[in-house]
Amino acid sequence: MITIIMAEDHQMLIDGVKSFFEYDDNINIIGTVNNGEDLVKLVSLKKPKMVITDIRMPRMDGIEATSIIKKQFPNINVLAMTMFDQPDAIKQMLDAGATGYILKNSGIKMLSKAIVAVSSGETFFDPNVAFNFMNSYIDDNITIGKTDKVVLSNREKEILHLIANGKTSKEIASDLFLAKTTIDTHRKNMIRKLNLSSGSELVKYAIDKKYQF
């Protein structure tokens, strides 16, 4: 049995996850909290097999809470479930001791896969988080989740729409008040996410999908 304590400041998300696993014979959510301080206290009291935590929470964030938990209970595995896909956020959670990182918009099936992997000692990463950063961490004991649905961020969709309208990276950067290098990075990430081979394929994809974003 995989016993879990979940920390998340949006109660609706907690209720949804609990409801999904309510009749699962292998996964048991034995406690939930809405902030990092209560997470540390409840983990000390109940000593679960693993923790699922958001990063941004009141009173104590998930990074600090993870660091404290891993120092006190190194055998408890931590899975981050968040909206942050920035490399800095990923690195801070890894440095704190998390061995899994998924995005909230990846869905409950991805969460199920992550729980099984992380609870068994593997390291699991959502396929939609910063692969360029992750490449330096990948080894034989790391699982990359697979999904049939490509998840683009709102910013990526915005840039894709501008690409479809014939805008260059320089023009997009000017329109969005961003650096050209930032737009170039978004282009590379979209090429990787969409399993394309070049910038020209990205342009073609953007035109084909122009009215879907």
177: left (phi over 0), alpha (psi -120 to 50) or beta: left
pLDDT score of 133: 52
User: 17 and 108 in contact (C-beta within 8 Å)?
Assistant: yes
pLDDT score of 190: 87
| 66-72-74-77 Cα dihedral, nearest 10 degrees | -40
Tell me the backbone φ, ψ of residue 16, rounded to 5 degrees.
-65, -45
Distance between CA atoms of residues 142 and 62, nearest Å: 22
> How many Cβ atoms from other residues are within 10 Å of residue 196's Cβ?
15
Q: Which CATH architecture best describes the domain 2-144?
A: 3-Layer(aba) Sandwich (3.40)
Distance between CA atoms of residues 90 and 101, nearest Å: 7
Q: How confident is the model over 118-152, as pLDDT tens digits?
A: 998 888 888 776 454 555 454 445 555 555 556 67
pLDDT score of 130: 47
Q: If you average pLDDT over residues 183-211, what whole number do you get? A: 84
Domain limits, the chain: 2-144, 154-212
pLDDT score of 200: 86
pLDDT score of 212: 54
Distance between CA atoms of residues 152 and 190, nearest Å: 8
Q: How confident is the model over 76-116, as pLDDT tens digits?
A: 999 999 988 777 788 899 899 999 999 888 888 889 999 99
What is the dotted CATH code of the domain comprising 154-212? Answer: 1.10.10.10
pTM of the shown model = 0.64
